[in-house]
Amino acid sequence: MGEESELAIAAVRRYAVALRHIQSRLFDAYPDVSGIKDLMTAVRHKRTLPRAGMSSTGVEYAIHGAGCQMTDEVGRVVDVDLVGDVEAFDAWRIRWFLDEQSDAGPSVEELRTACSHLASTGELLEVQAGSWYALPDRRGKGH
C-alpha cells in the first residue's frame, strides 16, 4: 500500500475511534437509549428528548433526516445515518470529520477505498457495497 492509502486508513480509524467514544458518552447520559435508533424514537415518537440537545456527559446531538450528528466538548463532529437498522457512515462523513482542506487530506475516493479495505479485514462492516460502513459492534442495537 502507498502512503496515501496508509493516511486514508489512519483517517478512517481516527473517525471510528471518535465515533465509538462520542456515542458511548452520549448513550451513558441516557440509560434508556442504546443506539441512534432508540434516540430517534425518543425524539420523534415518544417525544421524551428534544431534536437537538446537550447531554449531561457534554455531548451535543442533533437528530436529522435519517440519523444524528454528535459533537463532543472539543468540537469533534461525527455523523451517522440509519441504513436499515444499522448506524452507518460514508466517506463524506469521514471527510467532514477530518475538517481538512480539499488538497490537504485524503480524498473522498481514498477514504472510500480505505473503508472497503478495513471492511475486508473485519475492522468495519460494509453495510452497502462501496458506500455505507459501520463499526462491527454498532448495529443499531446495544453498545
Q: Do 72 and 59 touch, CB atoms closer than 8 A?
A: yes
Cell numbers at 38, concatenated: 432508540
- Listing from the earlier edge strand, what are the strands of the sheet with 52-54? 52-54, 60-64, 67-71, 77-83, 86-88
Give residue 139's pLDDT. Answer: 45
pLDDT of residue 118: 96
Local structure of residue 89 (DSSP, 8 states)? B
pLDDT of residue 103: 58
56-79: buried (b, 16+ CB within 10 Å) or exposed (e) per residue?
A: eeebbbbbeeebbbbbbeeebbbb
pLDDT at 108: 92
What's the pLDDT score for residue 130? Answer: 87
Kindly state the helix (H) or strand (E) to which residue 41 belongs, with its residue range: helix 36-44
* CA-based end-to-end distance of the chain: 33
Extract the residue ranges of the chain whose pLDDT is less than 70: 1, 100-103, 138-143
- Residue showing cell 435519517: 66
pLDDT confidence of residue 83: 94
- The owner of cell 446495544 is 142
